[in-house]
Amino acid sequence: MMRTILLNRLLQLIQVMVGISLITFTVISFSPGDPAEITLRATLGTESPPKEAVARLHEEMGLDDPWHVRYLKWASRVVHGDLGYSYQTKRSTIEEITHSLPITFCLASLSILFSASIAIPLGIATALRQNGLVDHLCRLSSVIFLSSPEFFVAMVFMLIGGVYLGVLPIAGAGGIKYFILPSLTLSVGLIAVTMRVMRTSMIETLEQDYIRTARAKGLSRRIVIQRHALKNALIPVLIYMGTQFGWIFGGAVTIESIFALPGLGRLLVNSVSSMDVMVVQGCMLTFAVIIVLINLFVDLAQLYLDPSIRSHGE
Amino acid sequence: MEYSYFDEKLAASDMNRLWGVLRSNSTLTIGILLFILISMMAVMAPVISPHDPAEMYFEERLSPPSASFPLGTDQFGRCIFSRIVYGAQTSLFIAITSTLIVVPLGIVVGMYAGYFSRLDAFLMRLTDILLAFPSIVLSIAIVGVVGPSPTGVILSLSISGWAKYARIIRGSTLSLKNSGFVEASRALGGSEKYILFHHILPNSYGPIIEIATLGLGSKIIAISGLGFLGLGIQPPTPELGTILKDGLVFLQTAPMMALSAGGMIMLFALATNLIGSELRSITDPRSDTI
């Protein structure tokens, strides 16, 4: 069981990496603008670099080859651990990515933490008192939060936390406090959905036979909820949050740009707007790896948390 | 049939029934009314906007809301209300265009994969890849490279967007292709094309409409997200995300700029979320409604 999952995910890793890099590569090679000229414009600092130099670099970068030849060349370099370099900073793409990855990771983990600690209690509360005041309020705020674009939420949080209260920094990177507003922003959408998932899961669990049995043998409602229902109801919620971890990385792209956090998302946006092609490719590949690894982790967690799946596979 | 309830309720030409659904479901009604209101504003932009969205009144820069400028003016003295209304028009146009590309593409790919199973494995791998990847990341990479024009935005939304529809349609095609009425039609000599478009497709309308509605909202958010990052439709064309980004700087002096642009995006997404989630609860009564 464990082996099939690992094999499947490894296969998916290759597929997603090839697929995403192929899409990015194709789009880049059909885009207007000569990468050689763009690179020289930035390195020499002139608007019109000498024609000879452009032609030489054009040759060096192998831009005259058809795109599939270029893709294969690029892919073979990637396999050998060479992702090229950024023409802007002169650093290797790998260096750029390893610098930014921890920041995005920290942001994503903190927002998962915030979402779990807010959404799970609210979900339980609404499940225990269905159609109560809290339930209605949560339902309303859930649909509103779900409809708010993260950059708008970011703006509201900046206003409240940074400007009116003046307690939290609204831009830049430094200590943990620079992460609070961005990760709160990122968790808003996740809270809205997780809350509903928790509610549904709790309601379904409370309708199970073993809950009735536990009540029938005289345990109090409180004990039954704490010891029996909660543990079982939490499993799908935790797994749901795991699958959303990848979505969080997608959301981080916008959030990092707004709060000027030098993470992977900001690196992508910056390199896209300055046509730093190697870095764009590298970032996309990193995103692909992260997403598939998260999926693998969720699979294994599910196997560990839910014994019925384990026995089913054997 | 799974979606028969929905078909009966909405596909019936009986207006009374439609009226009945709307009257008994206030959330759906609110969503639809909101949607119509915003769409009307966007379509009627030339009529209802008090000024030309590009016209600059330099002596009126960053003025608060007044009778002639309902939401005040921006840093160049342009009427914010007019810019928001025109911005909504731009967003709505792009969102609808890319939906019109993505839905038929997804339907064709999904039906093909589900019915003929020739390219099924390959096509489903492709959807796997696209669904596994956060679409905004792909959109940013595509639009940044293709260029920040309406075409670039439409293209970037379309490349990542069709996979969801293909998945759903493939699923319903698979479950329907061996069902009794399809077999009967085949026995009566119905061609594959006839079966696909007259039997299988109509039975998938429910989930298609539902996802397309929800998708319209998420596309509006994605379009303005790209604009916010400076990768969307470029000025001077009024665009909600760009207005919001420009307004951030003037949050304290002219808050209406950023707030009204953000509010417009939110109202639009709210409308589509309300409609989409109610349609889901009609098509799948067991799902959790909002």
Average pLDDT estimate for A142-156: 85
Q: Contact at 8 Å (CB) between A151 and A269?
A: no
**First and final C-alpha spacing in chain B:** 25
Give residue-wise pLDDT tens across range B226-239. 888 888 788 778 88
What is the rounded distance in angstroms from the CA atom of residue A54 to the CA atom of residue B89?
A: 42
Task: For residues A192-208, give the mean pLDDT.
Answer: 88
The 10 Å Cβ neighbour count of residue A14 is 12
Lowest average pLDDT, out of A53-67, A136-150, A281-295, B176-190, goes to: A53-67
Select the residue of B146, B231, B266 nearest A147 (Cβ to Cβ).
B266
List, for residues A40-79, the tens digit of each pLDDT value.
Answer: 776 776 667 777 777 777 777 767 777 778 888 888 888 8
So what's the pLDDT on residue B208?
A: 86
Would you state the structure tokens that stand for residue A285, as one six-digit string? 């590949």
Minimum Cα–Cα distance from B249: chain A residue: A155
Residue A242 to residue A303: CA distance in whole angstroms: 13
Quick one: pLDDT at residue B286?
Answer: 57
Comparing CB atoms, the residue among B128, B273, B290 nearest residue A139 is B290
Residue B100's pLDDT is: 93
Q: What is the pLDDT of residue A31?
A: 67
Give A155 or A111, the one with higher predicted confidence: A111
- The distance of B197 to chain A (nearest Cα, Å) reads 31
Distance in angstroms (rounded) separating the CA atoms of residues A46 and A40: 8
Give this prediction's pTM.
0.82
d(C-alpha B80, C-alpha B253), whole Å:
14
User: With an 8 Å Cβ cutoff, is B281 touching chain A?
Assistant: no
Cα–Cα distance list, A226 to A128, A132, A219, A230 (Å): 12, 21, 11, 6
CB-CB contact of A296 with A6 (8 Å): yes
- Yes or no, beta carbons of A148 and B125 under 8 Å apart: no
Band (B99; pLDDT cuts 50, 70, 90): very high
The number of beta carbons lying within 10 Å of the beta carbon of residue A230 is: 14
Residues of chain B contacting residue A273, judged by C-beta atoms under 8 Å apart: 144, 230-231
Q: Is residue A13 part of a domain?
A: no
pLDDT score for B290: 47
Q: Is B136 close to A253, i.e. CB distance below 8 A?
A: yes
Average pLDDT for B9-24: 65
* Mean pLDDT to the nearest integer, A158-187: 78
Residue A116 in domain: yes
Q: Which of A107, A73, A70 is nearest to A181 (CA)?
A: A107
Contact B245, B235 (CB under 8 A): no
Q: Do A155 and B248 touch (CB under 8 A)?
A: yes
Average pLDDT over residues A240-257: 84
Q: Does A20 touch chain B (CB under 8 A)?
A: yes
Number of separate domains in chain A: 1
Cβ neighbours of A292 in B, within 8 Å: 132
Which stretch, A9-13, A271-275, B95-99, B275-279, has highest mean pLDDT? B95-99
Other Cβ atoms less than 10 A from the Cβ of B166: the count is: 26
| Tokens coding A222 | 């409180």
For A15-29, write each residue's pLDDT tens digit: 888 888 888 777 777
Are B288 and A149 inside 8 Å of each other by CB?
A: no
Q: What is the pLDDT of residues A91-107, one digit of tens each?
A: 888 888 888 899 998 89
A249 vs B: CB within 8 A: yes
- Of B146, B162, B229, which to mutate for an interface test with A (greatest number of A Cβ within 10 Å)? B229
* Mean pLDDT comparison of A270-274, B133-137, B271-275, highest-scoring range: B271-275
Contact B231 A273 (CB under 8 A): yes
Task: Identify all chain B residues contacting A148, using CB atoms and an 8 Å cutoff.
Answer: 262, 266, 269
- Is residue A170 in a domain? yes
Q: By the 8 A CB rule, do A107 and A255 touch? A: yes
Task: Report the mean per-residue pLDDT for chain B.
Answer: 81
Determine the Cα–Cα distance for residues A252 and A250; give it in Å rounded to an integer.
Answer: 5
> Which domains does chain B show, CATH number per domain?
4-283 (1.10.3720.10)
**Quick one: pLDDT at residue B106?**
92
Nearest to A247 among B134, B145, B288 (CB): B134
Percent of chain B with pLDDT over 90: 8
Test mutation, B26, B35, B129, chain A, max A CBs within 10 A: B129
pLDDT of A240 reads: 85
Which among A30-34, A187-191, B26-30, B69-73 has the top mean pLDDT?
A187-191
CB B58, CB B66: distance < 8 Å: no
Is the model's pLDDT at B1 over the cut of 50?
A: no
**Which pLDDT does position B151 carry in this prediction?**
86
**Closest Cα in chain B to A192:** B290
The answer, yes or no, to whether residue B107 has pLDDT greater than 70, is: yes
User: With an 8 Å Cβ cutoff, are B132 and A269 in contact?
Assistant: no
Three-state DSSP at A18 gives: helix
Which site among A27, A279, A283, A285 would you substitute to test the B interface, given the most B Cβ atoms closer than 10 Å to its Cβ? A27
Q: Does A163 touch chain B (CB under 8 A)?
A: yes
Q: By the 8 A CB rule, do B143 and B156 touch?
A: yes
* Cβ separation B136–A250 shorter than 8 A: yes
Please count the residue pairs, one from chain A and one from chain B, whose beta carbons lie less than 8 angstroms apart. 138
**Partner A contacted by B290 (CB < 8 A):** yes
pLDDT cut 70: percent of chain A above it: 91
Q: Where in the sequence is the domain holding A215, given as residue range(s)?
A: 96-271
Poorest-pLDDT segment among A80-94, A177-191, B1-15: B1-15
B120 to chain A, closest Cα gap in Å = 16
Cβ B270–A163 below 8 Å, yes or no? no
Task: Answer yes or no: is pLDDT of A252 > 80.
Answer: yes
**Residues listed for chain B:** 290
Q: Is A303 at the interface with chain B, CB within 8 A?
A: no
Amino acid at site A105: F
DSSP A83: -
Q: CB contact, 8 Å: A78 with chain B?
A: no
Q: Which stretch, A142-146, A277-281, B93-97, B145-149, has highest mean pLDDT?
A: B93-97
Helix (H, G, I), strand (E, B) or coil at A92: strand
Query: The domain that contains A194 carries what CATH number?
Result: 1.10.3720.10
Whether residue A288 lies inside any domain: the answer is: no
Total count of residues recorded for chain A: 314
Instruction: Inform me whether the C-beta atom of residue B225 falls under 8 Å from chain A C-beta atoms.
Output: yes
Residue A314 has pLDDT above 50, yes or no: no
Average pLDDT over every residue of A86-95: 79
For residue A57, being part of any structural domain is answered with no
Q: What is residue A313's predicted lDDT score, i.e. its pLDDT?
A: 45
Region A201-213: mean pLDDT is 87
Helix (H, G, I), strand (E, B) or coil at B79: strand
B129 touches chain A (CB under 8 A): yes
User: How far does chain A reach from its first CA to its final CA, in angstroms?
Assistant: 7
What is the number of other CB atoms lying within 10 angstroms of the CB of residue B223?
Answer: 32
pLDDT band (50, 70, 90) for residue A150 = confident
CA torsion A30-A36-A42-A43 (nearest 10°) is 160
pLDDT at A73: 82
pLDDT (0 to 100) of residue B287? 58
CB-CB: which of A254, A284, A291 is closest to B229?
A: A254
Residue B234 is predicted with a pLDDT of 80
Q: B133 and A20: CB-CB below 8 Å?
A: yes
Over chain A, what is the mean pLDDT?
Answer: 82
pLDDT score of B72 more than 80: no
Give mean pLDDT, residues A256-274: 87
Tokens of B230: 């400076």
Residues paired with residue B73 on neighbouring β-strands, in sequence order? B79
The three state secondary structure string of A100-132 is HHHHHHHHHHHHHHHHHHHHHHHHHHHHHCCCC
Q: How confident is the model at residue A289 (pLDDT cuts 50, 70, 90)?
A: confident
Q: Which of A70-79, A269-278, B64-73 has the lowest mean pLDDT?
A: B64-73
Q: What is the DSSP letter of B203?
A: G
Residue B189 and residue B196: Cα distance in Å, rounded? 13
Look at B230 and A273 and tell me if their CB atoms are within 8 Å: yes
pLDDT of residue B2 exceeding 50, the answer is no
Contact: B231, A272; criterion CB under 8 Å: yes
Which has more pLDDT, A10 or A108?
Answer: A108
Quick one: pLDDT at residue A311? 55
What's the average model confidence in pLDDT over A214-242?
85
Top-confidence residue, A254 or B23 = A254
Decide if pLDDT at B289 tops 60: no
Assess if residue A123 is contained within a domain.
yes
Comparison of pLDDT for B68 and A152, the residue scoring more: A152
Cβ burial, residue A173 (10 Å; 0-12/13-18/19+):
middle
